[in-house]
Amino acid sequence: MPDFSLPSGAGLLADGVHESVDRGTALLRLTTTHERQGVLDGAWWPRSRDAAAELPGLITALTERLGPITRIGLDRAAWDDLPTRITVDGRVVRIDSFPVGDDTALVTRGDQDLFALLVVPPKTPVDAARSAMAEAVHTDNPKQARQILLDSAADRPRGPGL
């Protein structure tokens, strides 16, 4: 995680781990701390690589926990038809294309506040996805997203019919 300070007047979030697993919402885990010492701030497990279908749920879940989201950065090569902007609940969120890899999403709240999320591949087995997501939200996690996926076997998709 890059070293930065919160903009003055930014609302601090309560420390803790937050999960969104309700039916129809994004599969998301976040950790919010004042120190933000880990490499990642959370994890997202999209159901597909269809950005238009997956991003509204992510944006809604993030907005509920972090406040208004202004941008999301994704690797264009990892997504089907990545839009440049998307409107959710009447708010426009800009979608930036960065060569961050298919295992990372960058989320901007306000003008400067940046959060990095592990992106678990859609066809990851449940146990591997849970393991990767749990590791990503450890406050002092030193691992990059790619290494977490390798260690948890989340980079190996389920076979046909699973």
Each residue of 80-102: pLDDT tens digit? 989 999 999 999 999 999 887 78
Other beta carbons within 10 angstroms of residue 53's beta carbon come to: 12
pLDDT in tens, 107-154: 999 877 888 999 999 989 988 998 999 888 887 778 889 999 999 877
Please tell me the pTM assigned to this model. Answer: 0.77
Upper half-sphere CA count for residue 109 (Cβ side, 13 Å)? 22
Which pair of tokens denotes residue 3?
């070293």
